[in-house]
Structures are given as structure tokens and as C-alpha cells.
A and B are shown apart, each in its own frame.
Chain A
Amino acid sequence: MQRIRFLFCLMFLFSSLTILQANDVAQNIAKIKQVQKEGQGNLTASKAVQQLSQSDASALIPILSSFEGANPLAVNWLRGAFEAIAARAIQQKKLPVKNLEEFVLDTSRNPRARRLAYETLIKVDPAAADRIIPGMINDTSVTLRRDAVQRLINEAKNLEKSGKKDQAKKVYQQALSGATDSDQVKNIVKPLRSLGEKIDLQKHFGFLSEWMIVGPFDNREKKGYDTVYAPEEKLDFAAALEGKEGKVNWKSVNTKDDYGIFDVAKSISPYKGAVMYCAADFHSPQKQSLEIRLGTPNAWKIWVNGKLLFARNEYHRGMVLDQYSVPVTVQPGKNVILLKLCQNEQDDSWAQRYQFQLRIAHPSGTGVQSQKPQSTTQLSP
């Protein structure tokens, strides 16, 4: 009888301690999730993360689950604690591999948390990659999807080498359906085109290719960046405006470039000390949170539906696809995008580019097309 009582007490103590630890974990996670910009909450979070990092492996899944709703700063704090606990659990052979795999496969979970679970899992079970990755071709996690796309690219290359062109084509097409990183897209599109496939890359990435453009306005001594010219006050495509070299009018332009690059210097004129305004429509079936992804070596400002979203006063520090990602909430129906593109007066050979590329994408990088039936990006009055 006494022995039963003792066992009961022991069980009670153990379950109490487990509950206490779970409460501590939850409290520390909550404190960490309070961190905000400019170090707000750092003092509390620093204490909490040090306590949380000492938890046992049972804290791993709760930490991953807590990524949902956490800001990017808090996610990194949580990751720090997760990795410290996971490293110990791996050493002690106590990593909850089954739970981690379930977490990776649960697409309702936070994409970054799933990726972290995956990376931790394959440290002890490398074969998990073969089980998990092939099903990730359209996953919400950018990096899990990238791994799946890479597998398909490798498979298609092997098929192509062994002369199975039709099969290779199908696998390349499947890979393209999930590819958003430009290196992978290039590795898919080149062989696909050589196999006779026509691919609309502008459509794939969601580039805006048709624009209304007006200028040049004065940007000598880079003063035009902060000067408010007429298009910033009112968009009237019929109006003649006072430009740097006299009256200027809006005109319709487009680009056929695969990557949506519109080159002002080549297509219009290699203006120096100039401001050009470029406008395009984007039609959305519903209100949604998307990203404007811009690449340009020039200084710029961007407005959507008259609201300034972001501005960047930097010249000739390079241009790449998705150089800038600006979050935007688009409204149902027509959304008007206005881009102010500024060129400086540098005469160095490497400082002559005057161009941009702009696409609309989901935060995962997948391109989003304008959904007006008749025309994708044509400006309408």
C-alpha cells in the first residue's frame, strides 16, 4: 500500500513538474513574442530566451508552433532558443523526430517553422529528405519548394541525357510550376525552350510590361527626388506637363523582355539629371496582401492608389530581380501603381543605366497576374 502511495506521489510530482515546465515555456515564448522594433522588449526577452534555451526537448514543438503570429525579430529569438535545445536533444538522442516530421508535413503551420523542423530532422535522419521533399513542389515554404524544384530539375536533366525528351519536358514543366528563384527558372527555361516549349516568363513572374510614362523632369543635383511634380499630385494622362526640356506628354510603352526590364535610356533617351514617372494598372479580384518587387539601379519612389509606399534615394549600386520587396495591400478592382524613377548626373561608364523591372508577387515569391480579362496591365482611364 505504501509503495502504491509512493508511486502515486512520484507520478504527481512528475506531472506537476511537467506542467510547470510547460507553463514556463509558454510564458517565456509569450515574453519573447513581445519584442518590437528598436530593441523594445529586449530586456525581458533576453531573460526569457536564456531560460527557454535551457528547456528540454518537449519545448521544441511549442516553440515551432509559436512562430505563427510572431514578427520577424521574435522569430529569430525563438529560433535561437530552438537551436540550443535541439543541439542538446541531438547529443542526448532525445530529438522528437516523429513530431518534427509531422510538423514539417502540416502545411497549416508557419513555413519558416516547418523549414527549421525539416533542417533539424535531417541532421539525425538524412533519409527524411527523400520522403518529404518530393511532395513540396507547390509548398508555401520558399526553401522546401526550392529543394523540390531542384530534384525535378536534376531528374529532367537525367531524362534529357538519356534521350527521353518527352518525359524530360513534362518534368521540366512540373519544376517550372513551383520555381520562383531566378537561377532555377533559368535552368528550366533554357532546356524547355530548346525542347520546343513556349514560355511566357513575364506571366510566370507577374511582371508588369505595359506602362504609361512621362518626363523628363529636372533632377539636376539630385534635387528632383524630393521635388513634387504634377504626376504626384494628379494623374491625368491627357495633360501636357511642364518638363525639364519643355512640355511633356504621357505615352504608352511596353517591354518584351523576359524579365520585364523597361530600359528608359535605350527605349526613350539616356537622360541625365532626370525624373521619369511610370504608371500601370493592376487588377485584383479581391483585397489581398501582396508584394511589389522592384529592381532598378536608380533612385525611386512608389505609390499605390495615391499612397506613398516606399522611397529609396540610392544610385548605381546594382540592379537585380526582386532587389526591393515592398508589402502592399491591393484593393478589389483597379489599383494604380505610380513609379518615380530618378537618374543622377554621374558620368562614369558604370553609372549610365536608367531602367527598372517591376512585378507583383505573393510573399512566397510566386508571381501574381493582373486579372482584368481584356488586358493585363493596360492603363484604363
Chain B
Amino acid sequence: MKNEFLKLVLPLIAVCLCCGADWPQFRGPLTNNVATSETPPSKVDQENIAWSADLKGRGASGPIVVGNKVFITSTTGFKQDQLHVHCFDFNTGKRLWERQFWATGRTQCHNKMSVATSTPASDGKRVFATFSSNDVVCLDLDGNLLWIRGLSHDFPNASNSLGMASSPVVVGETLIVPVENDDDSFTTGLDVKTGIARWKIKRPRVANWTSPAILKSAPEAEALVLLQSSEGVDAIYPDTGETAWQYEQGAGRIPSTTVGENILFVPSNGLTALQPGTSSDPPKVLWKEQKLSPATASPLVYQKRVYTVNRAGVLSCGSLQTGEIIWRLRLKGPFSATPIAAANHLYLISEKGLLQVVQLSEEKGDVTGEIDLKETILATPAISNNSLFLRSDKHLWKISSK
């Protein structure tokens, strides 16, 4: 009984521990693109750039922040087979350390993408960096190697000639790493201490660039991990990989499911709002709305509204209850990065490097600031300690209040 209790509570504690000022993984502490207690600048201009640091190589992975350190990945070399993990000082932008490894799997990818497209993750003590070669590197926060796995080295048909982009998530003692592709397709849960697989499950054999989301349906409930694929969404238990429930009406393979107000917003049939299922009951479709269909960026739920960005760069605000469009705002796109929210504002970075800040109100959204960083940016930003972090191939920027 005691073990069962711990089994339920430990993952929640682990998730909550990450919720301070850190931005420990793709789309933030709860994988929902929201920074709840942060107030990054809302009226931005060039003077808000606190610092910028030079990067080398290529990378579409987002930065993560743990304590006073910012972590980022990139790759270099003609074949982009040299894998880098960088650590910068949060306050000064000084490079604290850098480690390199060689790819043990294939590094071919689409020109727009990079071998470093997956955002790293952290459990607060360790940094987990994954790459398109399916190499998984675990370092401590000071850059000391703890373990490495080469998942394509182990499973040579686990690869995607267009590149892998799914970011890992950490729940409790498990690092969930999706390796979903046309051939040897799987997702695995690795022990954060050793990198040894706690479980490995077969997944649909179709290329998949979505990232897992974390679902905490109630404070006392066990955290579930949502794996999206062309077939739909599987809610799995993070410590075993066993399926809790499934949504089987298909879903996209680029934008990822987002959870807000205990509802799943799945890029499926446009956008589908889904009430989570249980082990005995399947999930229930609340509504479907084609007009809220997201393009590359994942949906965002904030202040009881759902937001998506379409191919034309139009930001749509929809009702959580019905999916009805409340307002729309044409922005300067296109967008690959997922928007993030804090302090009643949305932060959207276009592929051309234009950061646009949108103030939210009941009836409309207003652009309150822009910074043109003039470089291609595909990575989703991070928010931590009232600052925003963005990266291109060449630079990492910190945006703060003056």
C-alpha cells in the first residue's frame, strides 16, 4: 500500500519540483507552454536584449533553464554529426561549459531542420540531450557525463531520413524518449540514473515529429504521458509504458497535444477537445473545430481560452467550452516555434526572427511590442525568472525588462 502510494505521489512531486522558476523541457514545466508566475517584458524593443551569446553549428532545439544555468544543444560538421551541449550563465550569458559527442546514428535530415531539433530536458539535477541520431546524453549540471545511449546504434532501423524532432520529457525517475518513424518505431522510458530502459513500447510505423505532453488530471492522480501519432493519442503510465487509455480518431504528426483545464487539445480533425479517459472509460470528444487547426506550432491553453496559429500566420483565440472562434489576429509569420504565455501576454517568434508580443483581452489581442532579431528562428522560447530566452543557429538571446 505504502509502495503504491509512493508510486502515485513521486512523479507528481517530481513534476512540481520543476515548477519553480525553471523551464526544464520543451513547452515548460507542465509541457503546456505557460509560465504561471513569470512577468517577462510586455513592451519589448532592442534595449530589452540583456545579453546574447554566440553559438556555433546548427540547432532548432529550444533553450531550457535550470537554476542559474541555460542549456542548449547544437550540431556541427559537414554531416552535422558532432553533437554539442552548451551551458551558459543565466545572468551574464557567459559560456560555462560545452561538451561534444559523436553521433552514433544517421544524421540526415531536411534542410530546414537540424540534427539538434529536440529540446533537452532536465529533472533539476541532470540534463538529458537527445538528437536526430537518437543519441541520448545525460550530464550533470556541471557538464560531467553520467551516461549515454545510442538508440539508433542499438536499433539501426530507428531513424527518419527527414530527421527526428520529438523532445523528451522527464516524469519522476523516467525519461520518456519517442523514437517514432517509418520503420523500427518505438518510444522508450529510460531510467534517469543509468539510461537503462525501464520499458520500450512499439509505436505506429509512421514518421512522427510530435512531442509528449504530461497530463495531471487531479492533484492526487498519477501523472500520465500523452503520446500522439497518426493514429491518435495514447495515455501511458510513465513508469511502465502501459496504456491507460487511447483516443483513436487520428492526429497530426507535427503540432503536439496540449493540456489545459484538464482538457486535451489534440491536433486532430482541425482541433479536437478531449476529456481524458480512464482505464475503464475511453476519452470523450467535447468538440472539434476545423477553424482552429494548428500548422507547425502546437496549440496553447491560457486563461480559459485556446490559441492556435495557422499556416497564414493568423493567431486564433477560441472558446474552451465550444471551440467557437472569439477573435483572430494576423501576425507576421510563418511560425515554427510554439507560442508561450505569461502575465496576460503571448510571445510568438516567427521563422524570420521577429518576436511579437500580444496582449490578451476578452475581445481581442493587441501587438504591444516587437523585436526583429533578423535570424531564422524555429525553436520554441523559454521563460524563466521574468526573462525570455530565444535561439537561432548563431545566437542565444536573453530578453528582460530594462
A: which residues have CB within 8 A of B? 37-39, 42-43, 45-46, 49-50, 53, 72-73, 75-77, 79-81, 83-84, 87, 112, 143, 146, 181, 183, 297, 310-315, 317-320, 323-324
Contacts and interface: CB of A to CB of B under 8 A. Distances in A.
Given A76-B101, A76-B102, A87-B143, A39 B194 contact: yes
Do most interface residues of chain B lie in helix, strand or loop, or is the interface mixed? loop
Given A43-B194, A73-B104, A73-B153, A84 B143 contact: yes
The 4 A-B residue pairs with the shortest CB-CB distance, nearest first, are A80-B145, A317-B161, A39-B196, A314-B182
B110 interface: yes
A43 B193 CA distance: 9
A50 B142 CA distance: 12
A84 B145 contact: yes
Given A45-B147, A53-B144, 5 more contacts: A42-B147, A80-B137, A83-B143, A315-B182, A323-B106
B33 interface: no
B106 A324 contact: yes
Contact of A42 (B137, B160, B194, B205): B194
Residue from A39, A75, A87, A313 with most neighbouring chain B CB atoms (10 Å) = A39
Contact of A79 (B78, B100, B149, B197): B100
A260 B157 CA distance: 25
A76 B78 contact: no
Contacts of A38: 154, 197
Interface in B153-209: 153-154, 156-157, 160-162, 181-183, 190, 193-197, 205, 207
Nearest to B162: A317
Contact of B145 (A75, A77, A183): A77
B219 interface: no
A75 B144 CA distance: 15
A315 B160 CA distance: 10
Contacts of A181: 78
25 contacts: A38-B154, A39-B194, A39-B197, A42-B195, A42-B196, A49-B145, A49-B146, A50-B146, A72-B104, A73-B153, A76-B101, A76-B104, A77-B148, A81-B145, A84-B145, A87-B97, A146-B78, A310-B156, A311-B157, A312-B183, A313-B157, A313-B182, A314-B161, A318-B161, A324-B106
Contacts of B182: 313-315, 317
Contacts of A310: 156
Given A43-B196, A312-B157, A83 B99 contact: yes
Interface in B235-272: none
A77 B139 CA distance: 11
Contacts of A112: 102
Residue from B99, B106, B146, B157 with most neighbouring chain A CB atoms (10 Å) = B146
A314 B143 CA distance: 37
A126 to B, nearest CB: 15
B168 to A, nearest CB: 16
A253 B274 CA distance: 56
Contacts of B150: 72-73, 76
Interface in B66-80: 77-78
A326 B391 CA distance: 36
A153 to B, nearest CB: 13
B108 interface: yes
B206 to A, nearest CB: 10
A317 B139 CA distance: 32
Interface in B125-153: 135, 137, 139, 143-150, 153
A312 B78 CA distance: 24
A112 B138 CA distance: 21
Residue from B110, B148, B181, B183 with most neighbouring chain A CB atoms (10 Å) = B148
B78 A183 contact: yes
A368 to B, nearest CB: 19
Given A45-B147, A77-B148, A39 B195 contact: yes
Nearest to B105: A72
A38 B153 CA distance: 9
A169 B110 CA distance: 34
